[in-house]
Each structure stands twice: as structure tokens, then as C-alpha cells.
Structure 1
Amino acid sequence: MKSTANPDGASHSKLTQAGKGSEAQSASAWTRRLCSDTQRDEALLQQALQAFAQGDAAYALVLSETVCRRLPSLGLAAILRARILQAHWPALQLEAWRKAFAAEPDFPDLQLACAEQLAGAGQQDEARRLLLCCLPQAMRANAAQAHLQLLRKLGQSYAAVCWREGDVLHARASILQDGYCLPPLRIQNHTQSMEVAWPQDGQIRIPLSALPPGDPVYALNLAGQSLSGSPLAFAPLLPGVMQGPDKKRRAAKAALGPRSKMFKRPLRILLPVHAGVEQVRACLESLYACAPLAAASFSIWIAADAVHEAGLHAYLQQEATACRIRLLHNPRNLGFLENVNRALQTMQEEYGAELGDVLMLNADTRVAGDALLRLRQSLHSAGDIGAVTPWSNNGEISSFPWLAHSVAEPDAAQLDALQQAAASLPDTLYPLPAACGFCIMYKQEAILDVGGLDGSLLQRGYGEEVDWCMRARRAGWRIMLCPRAFVAHAGGVSFGIEKSVRVRQNKLALQGRWPDYWNEWRRFLRHDPLSTVRQALFDALQAWPQANDWLQAQIQQAGRAHGAIAPAGASSLRWLAVWLRPHEVQWEAQVLALAHALGAYPEWRLLVFGEAEENLWRSGVALILPPQAHSSLLKPADCMRLLNCHALLHAPAPAAPALHGAMPDWDGEVLCPAPQHSALQILQALKIAPSRRRKKERAA
């Protein structure tokens, strides 16, 4: 299901036509499609369209939320959700449009729709940033007219973009306001620069051989303002990138063994920095306190990429003068990948084979206690471990308290308590398909073996750690979670709304090189092999009141409904909500029996939160919402309020009831059936009786 229509124009007719088409289907035909795993998502979307057209906005919103969670890259479902919210719950419309853009950021009409919504809500600067970051793709496809018109309305004087195509640099510019004259295009690498006058058609094409020689990273700007798409890296393919392990390399890694003198090996801490003085200050202050515990010899390297923020520049100079950091300053923007590679290259030139272990840390992180020591101990617990990563409140695959779900940062005291709780866990490590790049500690031998980040494949940032980890795994190294370390991470600071474009572009590139990775990632999310150790950390927090206070606040926030969400309109259906955690085999069997029993109650349906087996879908009465993720917008409590659920059913709570998501904050009836209760007993407890029509059918 691929979106191809204008969310505000052409798509409206397509959505309406789809809705009218679905009206002609009988309920039984729709149920058959819902039971089919190949037709289910289309059936859900068409039912949402029909419900929206018939005025049942609440049901339509929950259905569209379901499809958004099941198909996070389907822009059409996210557009429908945004339009429903815009019409009935406008307080959430901007967030919905941002998520729609994140779902399919290379869909031009969606780019325009989202920019118009932002501009209409007074977010003109964000609307301009969105359009400018999408403009290289649109100009490259000669489909930028609508983008340029909207930029003109937003007061932009000109628009200039650049992109790389093979070994050719392309740049295009358009004047948007009368009387504006384009200054020459300035192209710079690390050592040289050149200026190029714009031709009449505003298009520049320069082969790599005609660009300033030497450094293959070029910054492009007009009168000091960077072009959208700059910098461009013509980096060569790293040597040995696709080289697999041979028996000699595997044997060499195994021979390394645990390193008893690990503490004597130097630790290099690398922070790529661009902006945000307060976050950088907090990160460095935490490192000053923690790094001495992890290594007898350590150094903190700051890779400052075109830092123009006066306060940040002054602070870094102050710390460098005091010899607390090593400051590498790039006067022009290199982008994240090349900034990191430049720093790694400088380190290797200075230290050679004695590079030491390298901790790559985002500048919006904070460490506490012995977190770095625990990471180093894990890194050196076996010879073939190439990199380790910690728990975090915002760490994708290593997120806590919920997998792939970010929550608020802990404060300093809470972080210290979280680290003490994590350090009390056993030292068992857990293999990961890839680490999250906010905090990775690399073993010296792995860095020297695998190399740096690959700028020949990826542009600017996002996904670079996945590529490195996959290259390392191919070379025989393992990537592990260190459960005895916890690092706070703010997240989402580097690129803002541009992040969606970068993620999409680099994800497509990674799919070409590593086609099996995303299936492996989805299997990891589905089976959650970290659930046991996450449960252990839940239990450990009970002994640390400040850490437990933070955890309880996250559980309450996740379970609380949006204040702006309330039911809208009446529905002919009645709903029971079901909370289903992973591995609850007995409870899932009870839920399945309940679903079959509801066949005698045509007006009743189940709203199931969690992952469920195919048989539950095939019952024809269950709507199953996968766990919350980046694509989700509604909370479970929102969905229950929207559908006016009669009751919430769940199995007896485990020791950590929020382990697989926060239970909804629900003030209605809650039922916890015993394992021996039958479906009929559950219905009797809920005082649900067959409809009069079904009683007459039975009597006949």
C-alpha cells in the first residue's frame, strides 16, 4: 500500500472513493478480509475511511492508529489519522502531521501538506526547515514548483540546494523574491575553496576532478548560508568494508581472551558537537566525574563541527585551555559522519596501534557512577566482543523501561540511583543486531580491524552505527548490551524535523547493503530477548527509591490519556479492552475463547493491546493494536476512552506489571479473571447477555 496522492487535494477524492467502495461491502465480507493476513491492513484502512465518512470519528481514529502501528512507513494511514484529529481533536493535529511526515518523508504532497499545517499554526520557521530539507529531492526530480511557491509565501528570498550524483556535484538555485541577486556559490574543502557564478538557469554541475583537490568533503554556501544538502562527501569506500571473517581472523579474536590489564589501556572519549552549550556542559561535567573510574589514562576529544553558538564556542575554548579536553574544530560543517571520521583519523595518527578503546558519546547524554567502568568490563569480558552499549531512557534497542520506546530523562540523583541499580545486576551480556549510536564503546582491535564510519554509503547522519555493527559482525565481532550501565539521553537534538528525511534516505541505503537486517530487527522487537534482564532491572529498582520514583512517573505518564481526547459521536459497537503481555500463553488462550464466545453477541468487540497470534485476528471480533512505537500517537487509555470501553481485562499482574508497557489509567471496571475461568464465566462477571435477536435465533 503506497501513498501517491495529495493529502489536501487529490487524495481527498481517493479517500472518499475508497470509503464509498467499502460501504458496499457486507459486514461478513469485511470480516473475511480482516481474517486474511494479506488483506487485513487494507480492510482496516477502508473501514476507517468508511467510519470517518459516516461520522464515527472515534472508531475511525482507533482504526487508523492500528494501521499506523502495523505499517509505520505507510503515509496514507498517517494522513488519515492527521485529518481525523484536525477535524475533531485539533490540539493533536500538529503532532499527527509531524508523524505523518516521519512515516513517508519522501512523499512530495505530504511534505507540502505538513509544511502548510505548520505554517498555519504559526510554526513558519519549522515549515521552512521542512521544505528546505526536502528540496534537494524535489529539485532533482524537477518537481519543486509547489515547494518553491510555498517558500515564497513564507518570505524566503531564495532557495539553493545541492546533491551528489556519482562523482558529480550538482547545485541549483531559484530566486523567490523580486530584486534579489544571487551571490556566487562558494565551495570549500578543508584546505581550499572556489567560487562559481550562477548561470542564467540557476544550475551548476561540476565533476569531482574540477573541484579543489585533497579533502573529499565539500561545504557549499551562499554568503555564508549553507545550501540544503551541504556538506557533500565524496568519500571513497572504506577498505575491507564488505570483507567477511576468515578462520585466521576468528582465531585471532578468540585468542585475545578476557583482558586482565584492561584498566591500564587508555580510553579515548569522543563527543561530536555542533550546538547546545548547556547539554554539552552537563555531558562533560558527568564525564569528568566518571571517566577516572574507568581508566588510569583517558582523554576527552571534542569534535566541534562548525560551532557558531557563541556561548558554546567560549565554553569549549575555556575547557581546552584548562587542558580538560582535546578540541578539534572544523570551521565549516562536515556533517556527523565525516566529523567523526576526521576525529578518529587524528587519533590514529597520534596514537597508532596504541589507540586505546574508544567511547563514542552523543553530546546530549549524561553518565553517572561507575557506568563507564562497567562498559569497559563488559567490552573486555571476551576477546570477540567488538562493541558494547548501555541501557538508556532513549536508546532504541536498549531502551528502558520499554523496548524501542523513549521516555523522559532522569535527573542527576535519579540517574545515579539508576546506575547503582543496574550495577547490581549479574554481569551476563546480551547479543544485539546493532547498538544505538548515542553511546557505544568500541574495542581498540575492532576499530583498527573494521575502520570508521562509511561516508561512501550514508550521508550526514543516522544509521551509521547499524552499518558499522553489521560490518563488525561480518568480520567476526559481537555487539553486546551491557546491562550493568545506564546512560541518560535527551535524543532528537541533532537534526530536528530533518531527521525523518535522513533516516529514510539512509535506511534505503542500508537495505541495499544489509537486506536481512530489518527482518532481524523486527524479530528482535517481536520476541524481545531482553525481557528477562529488563525484568531484573525493574526488580532491582525497588531498592533505590529515587530510581523507582522516576520509573513510576514514566509508568503514570504512559498510562495517562491525552487531555484533548474524548469520545466523538455514537457507535453501534460495544467494546471490551484486553491487556495482553508477551509470553502469557494461558491468558491468550482465555482471550481467544472469549473472542469465539462473543460470536453470540454481534454488537460486542475486543480491543486488544499487545502482540497476539493469528487465530485471535481470525475470530473476526478482535482489533489488535501492536505495542506503542515511534509511529504511534494515541495511548491505550485514549483508545479506550474513544471507544467507550465497557471494561479492561488483564491477566494476574507479574512482579513488574509495566514491563511490556504501562497499563492504561482507567477509572472504569477492571477484571482480572482467574486462569480456570471460562469465557462464559467472564461474560457473566461482566453482566453481558446475548442480544434479543440472537436469543430468538437460538429459540427458533
Structure 2
Amino acid sequence: MAARAYRMFFATTSAPALTTVALPIETRTKRSPITPPTVCIDIIVCIHNALDDVRHCLNSIIKFTATNYTLILVDDGSAKPTQDFVASFANEFRARHIRHEQASGYTCAANAGIRAGNNPFVVLLNSDTVVGPEWLERLYTCIESDQNLAIVGPLSNCASWQSIPEIESKTGGDWADNPLPEGISPDAMATRIARDSARIYPRLSFINGFCQMIRRQSLHEVGLLDEASFPQGYGEENDLCCRLRAAGWQLAVADDVWVFHAQSKSYSNERRMNLCAAASENLARKHGMHNIEAGARQCRENIALKGIRARTFNIHDRFECISSGKIHFAGKKYYSFCHPPTLVAAPMSLFPKLEL
């Protein structure tokens, strides 16, 4: 009886005029294809000890980077085991090798790598990262989707605002380090994120420096990383983001890319916290605390990123459900019977206002 009444309601209710509503958010009805880079890209990895992380990082680049690129390795005063490995790796894979006998700090090392290349796009990649399939192609597709984009960066387990699913540690006082579930490798996680992504490329005020693709033209306009104010590599990327936004450039997250970040072992945790505190003071002095706080608030309250984080909470359950379903129903036939109702357009007044 209830079902019959339901059908009668839809069949007899008069249909008011439809209202067209323009939602205040960029959407894509169809995903554009991933674009292999049509130009060579400089990939710069700055290295200071932490040999195990360096091995994982460089091996992942070789394994998962199929497009045209130039690998530039900047060894910033590493001890002999790491020094020897980097030199051997550069020789085997024809990478450019820059060696600083004395550690100059991350920012100086990164600028040395940028100056050593001349390709139109630069990737600054921390040596404690692990990249996955199509990582470079997807970053390139993102940055080329809008010529106003100066920097794009991926999602990660540990990358401040770009972390998923959590951004803050549950114990408080630090960023979250979201461990991978047992049995899930970094490249498997990257593949799941790519398949699940809507590729909406959220705009942010700051892009974490652990992995950035930068349009070299934007660096010609605003200059390289600030070695004087941020020599050790904490705060230099936020300073660059501030300068680029002030010059009219935009920054975005490539939400179909996920890069594993192991957190730096080049510094102790105490040293990291001290460097972060000093960087915050320098940023406030250069750009004004109100601008820094406004940028952080935009990152924290970004509705697109909130949605991405919420969706990734259950990403593994969804993939396991799909996988088990394919196994369970493999080779079986099933039929679906559906009586289509007569749909009636409802006026927008029946729905709450959309706040996006």
C-alpha cells in the first residue's frame, strides 16, 4: 500500500518550474585524460644522510617515472656511506650529481639544484619520500590545467594540510603521521587514491614543501627560495607561496596523487620543532602574522579538502568490498528488475541553501 501511494504521489503531483543554480565551486562533469609531459622536467632531490630513506626514494623514482625528466641529486655534506651511494647511483642512472663537502642547509641545496636545471618545470622532492605510479604525469596534468598555477603538490600520509585522512596528531602539538594499513604498500595506496579521486584540484594558500612541482616561469618572476631567512629548509616553501600569491599566482593540490613521506631523519624531532618555531617568526616578520594566519585558516577550512579527507577514511574498506564482490560474483549471472517511477522536479525552496 505504501509503495502504491508513493507511486501515485509521483504520478499526480504537478511539476513546478526547474531552477538552475550555479554552485560556487569548480566541478568537472568528465575527467580530462592524464597528460604525459610534453617537456622535460627537472626532478631535484636534496640529500643529507638517512641512507635507507634515500635508497627507497631514488628507487621509486626510477621505477615509477616513465616520462622525460632530468634527475638532479644534491648531496649536501652527507657522510661517506650516503656519499658513495649517491655518486654510484648518479653514475648508473645518468643523473646530475652536485656534491657539497660541507652541509649548506636544505634551502641552499635546493637552490643549487634549481640553478643546475633549465627545464620549464621543477620538482622539489624530499629524500624521505616514496613516489607511486603516474605521479609525475598527474602532477603535470594538474599544473597544466591552469596557466595561473605556479605550484602543485600531492596528498600524503604526512604533509600538514595535504595529509589524509587526519591532519593533526591525536596527541596534539604536531601534524598527523597517518600510518598505512598492514599489507598496503605506498604504491598500492597511491593507486587507490588515483582511482578514487574526483580530480578537483583544490586551491590552497600553502603547498607543503616535501613534494612540489613548480613552474619555472614563476621563479623567474619572484625569485628562488630565501636562503638568508630560512637556511635549514623550514618555512622556505611557505615564504615562496606567500610571494607567489602576492604576485597573482595560484597554488593547488593534485588530489589524484599520493606520495609517501617518512618524515625527515636528517634532524631530530626536537631540532625540527625548534626550526619550525624559528620559521614561524621569520614568516610573520616578512609577511605579517595576519596574512600567515589567514592563509592557514583557508587551508584548514577548505571544504574540498575536508571532503577528500572524509572520503579517504573508508577508502580501504571500499576497495576491499569491491575486490571481494568481484571474487564472490565472478562467473555468475544476476538480474535486476526495477519499475521506474515518474519523477517530478521539486522547487529549490524545498532544499536548504547549499554552502560550499
Question: Could you say which residue in structure 2 is the equivalent of 1:203?
Answer: none
Whether 2:306 is the aligned partner of 1:536: answer no
- Distance across 2 between alignment mates of 1:272 and 1:380: 25
Question: Could you say which residue in structure 2 is the equivalent of 1:364?
Answer: 128
* Matched letter for residue 486 of structure 1: W
Q: Deviations over 1:86-116 (max 9, x none)?
A: xxxxxxxxxxxxxxxxxxxxxxxxxxxxxxx
- Distance across 2 between alignment mates of 1:276 and 1:412: 24
Deviation at 1:501, TM superposition (A): 2.2
Q: Deviations over 1:408-432 (max 9, x none)?
A: 5438843222212211211211011
Alignment of 1:619-630 (within 5 A): none
After the TM superposition, which of the residue ranges 442-451 and 313-322 deviates more from structure 2?
A: 442-451
- Which of 403, 425, 432 aligns to 2:204? It is 432
- Which of 496, 499, 521 aligns to 2:272? It is 499
Question: Could you say which residue in structure 2 is the equivalent of 1:469?
Answer: 241
On the 8 A contact 1:365/1:488 being kept in 2, the answer is yes
Q: Secondary structure at 1:430's aligned position in 2?
A: coil
Q: Deviations over 1:512-567 (max 9, x none)?
A: 11113332244236534211122233454334349x9xxxxxxxxxxxxxxxxxxx
Question: Could you say which residue in structure 1 is the equivalent of 2:116?
Answer: 346
RMSD of the alignment, in Å?
2.5
Question: Which consecutive unaligned segments of at least 5 residues does structure 2 have?
Answer: 1-31, 169-174, 324-356
Question: Could you say which residue in structure 2 is the equivalent of 1:158?
Answer: none
* Matched letter for residue 307 of structure 2: T
- Which of 240, 264, 284 aligns to 1:511? It is 284
- Which of 406, 411, 428 aligns to 2:176? It is 406
Q: 1:531 to 1:409 in 2, by over 3 A?
A: same
- Which of 407, 410, 421 aligns to 2:192? It is 421
TM, length-normalised to structure 1: 0.38
- Distance across 2 between alignment mates of 1:545 and 1:278: 31
Alignment of 1:674-693 (within 5 A): none
Question: Could you say which residue in structure 2 is the equivalent of 1:695?
Answer: none
Q: Deviations over 1:268-301 (max 9, x none)?
A: 1111101011110000111001111xx3x21211
Between structure 1 and structure 2, the one with the greater Rg is 1
Deviation at 1:394, TM superposition (A): 0.5
Deviation at 1:498, TM superposition (A): 1.7
Q: 1:522 to 1:328 in 2, by over 3 A?
A: closer
Question: Larger relative CO (CA 8 A, sep 6+): 1 or 2?
Answer: 2
Question: Could you say which residue in structure 2 is the equivalent of 1:136?
Answer: none
Tell me how many residue pairs correspond in the alignment. 280
Q: 1:448 to 1:526 in 2, by over 3 A?
A: closer
Q: Secondary structure at 2:37's aligned position in 1?
A: helix
- Distance across 1 between alignment mates of 2:85 and 2:96: 13
On the 8 A contact 2:204/2:299 being kept in 1, the answer is no
Q: Deviations over 1:664-685 (max 9, x none)?
A: xxxxxxxxxxxxxxxxxxxxxx
Question: Could you say which residue in structure 1 is the equivalent of 2:345?
Answer: none
Q: 1:525 to 1:387 in 2, by over 3 A?
A: closer
- Distance across 2 between alignment mates of 1:503 and 1:359: 23
On the 8 A contact 2:36/2:137 being kept in 1, the answer is no
Q: Deviations over 1:127-166 (max 9, x none)?
A: xxxxxxxxxxxxxxxxxxxxxxxxxxxxxxxxxxxxxxxx
Whether 2:35 is the aligned partner of 1:271: answer no
Whether 2:83 is the aligned partner of 1:313: answer yes
Deviation at 1:344, TM superposition (A): 1.4
Q: Deviations over 1:316-360 (max 9, x none)?
A: 12112213422100111211111111221222xxx3xxx231111
Question: Could you say which residue in structure 1 is the equivalent of 2:343?
Answer: none
Alignment of 1:39-54 (within 5 A): none
- Distance across 2 between alignment mates of 1:428 and 1:378: 9
* Matched letter for residue 74 of structure 2: A
Question: Could you say which residue in structure 1 is the equivalent of 2:172?
Answer: none
TM, length-normalised to structure 2: 0.73
On the 8 A contact 1:290/1:371 being kept in 2, the answer is yes
Question: Could you say which residue in structure 1 is the equivalent of 2:350?
Answer: none
- Distance across 2 between alignment mates of 1:321 and 1:413: 32
After the TM superposition, which of the residue ranges 389-398 and 504-513 deviates more from structure 2?
A: 504-513
Q: 1:527 to 1:413 in 2, by over 3 A?
A: closer
After the TM superposition, which of the residue ranges 367-376 and 467-476 deviates more from structure 2?
A: 367-376
- Which of 41, 59, 66 aligns to 1:285? It is 59
Deviation at 1:459, TM superposition (A): 3.1
